[in-house]
Amino acid sequence: MSEPSPPASLRARYPDHAWLPVSIGCSDALVWRLEGRPGLFVKATGPDADRLAREGLDREVAALTWLADHDLGAPEVVETGTTEDGRRFLATTAVRGRSAAEPWPEEQRGSVVDALARFTARLHSLPTDGCPFDPTAPADPDATPVVCHGDFMLPNVIIDPGALEVSGIIDVGDLGLSDRYRDLAAMAWSLEGGLNPQYGPAYAVRFLREATGDAVDAAKIARHDALRWA
């Protein structure tokens, strides 16, 4: 299957950049990394995208705008709109670093996973009274809602390869208030689920222990795993 080329309606907006398709991750949108000055990312719906796809991209714009007031390294919105051929698009700055899903030397993987756990605590400590987004998953009556990424998996977290700390997050269209185990279960699944074999179950256990203070609620992990595929 050939990689999608950017339509002329989008390429014309940044003609001096090299457009490289991004295939990592599971986004329904088309995504390109733009090499040039400045480095950018462009995400776009197809010309025949349904209402939900368009609203999803609009929601990501709103989430990025809200996150701009919090020091989490989210990309900055450069431009958003609709092209002449009906594509909803979003252009953002590039977060410096490498995706946690990219290959990492074995001796660094533990540090990457520990950085993910530390960042999770930072994300979940954001003020909930300022979050403008409704819960993005069925509510758990026993949980205290926190600000969750909503799709907290390896491809959506960027790591500074020098400091081995999280430098930012991407694909935040599902950000909202939820039980923190929504994010914890998603990252544990991403680490052990087989799509990224450099990690595995031991790293998922390490992440959960670091993120919860060795107080993992296995029932909540199972519940959110079931909800993900419901």
Active-site amino acid positions: 151
Whole-angstrom distance, CA of residue 189 vs CA of residue 120: 15
Whole-angstrom distance, CA of residue 92 vs CA of residue 101: 20
Q: Which two tokens stand for residue 94?
A: 């590039």
Question: In this structure, is the dihedral angle defined by the CA atoms of residues 159, 162, 165 and 166, taken in order, positive or negative?
Answer: negative
Q: Rounded to the nearest 10 degrees, what angle do helices 181-192 and 201-212 cross at? A: 160
**Amino acid occupying residue 144:** T
Nearest Cα neighbor of 166 from 78, 33, 71 is 71
Alpha helices in the chain (DSSP H): 8-11, 51-67, 106-124, 181-192, 201-212, 218-228
Tokens 């410096």, residue? 96
**CB 4 within 8 Å of CB 134:** no
**CB 160 within 8 Å of CB 167:** yes
Q: Which two tokens stand for residue 88?
A: 């909803």
Q: Which two tokens stand for residue 225?
A: 């795993």
